[in-house]
Amino acid sequence: MSDALIVIDVQNDFCTGGALAVPNSDEIIPRINALMSEYDSIVLTQDWHPNEHLSFASSHKHKKAYDSIDMSYGYQVLWPDHCIQGSEGAEFHSELNTSQANLIIRKGMNPNIDSYSAFYENDKKTPTGLEGYLKTLDVTDVTLVGLATDFCVNYSAVDAAKLDFNVKVMTDLSRAIDIEGSLADAFKKMTSVGVKLI
């Protein structure tokens, strides 16, 4: 048995002053760093969008940030431009200990599909390769922390549970955007598939 810590999207654009800042996000970083020594494997995820990604409100006439549309794969919130490949906003927060990472998973690179989960793009079919990596290392238990609880942490946790990992989300080391009840909805979805919220 082996366990992994998956640190979701602790990037400049999701932290204070970023294009899509999650409230109080910076305060979790020192405690995430301290937690890393307790795990066999550390995985960091990184939102990594091309310019003009279809999940950006700026890619749609007459739409603004936080509007929603139907895409080929279903419901999509439209976001401010964020985490653009090679930009300062896409970089990991300078206080995050990236030297401990065994693997960095970049997601959201397909310009036509958003990607919240560390395991699959939002079409629910295109894998990132993380499942195979973890199972090759005989990882059975995963703990998720990071940003944002109600989107990328939630989607990653639900997918991990469906892939038969034992999943915990440390809610005190995650922060939410919370749009129109999205945090309560995320908690409900995670617990419904057996994710432990601690």
The single residue of 9, 47, 150, 159 carrying the catalytic annotation is 9
Annotate 117-139 with b (16+ C-beta within 10 A) or e (fewer).
bbbbbbeeeeebebbebbeeeeb
Whether 83 is a known active-site residue: answer no
Active-site residue flag, 9: yes
Q: In which region does residue 138 sit, left (phi positive, over 0), alpha (psi from -120 to 50) or beta (all else)?
A: left
Catalytic position from the list 47, 81, 114, 152: 152
d(CA 69, CA 90): 24
CB atoms closer than 10 angstroms to residue 188: 11
> Which of 13, 15, 47, 107 is flagged as catalytic?
107
d(CA 87, CA 90) in angstroms, rounded, equals 5
The question of whether 107 is a catalytic residue gets the answer yes
Which amino acids are annotated catalytic? 9, 107, 152
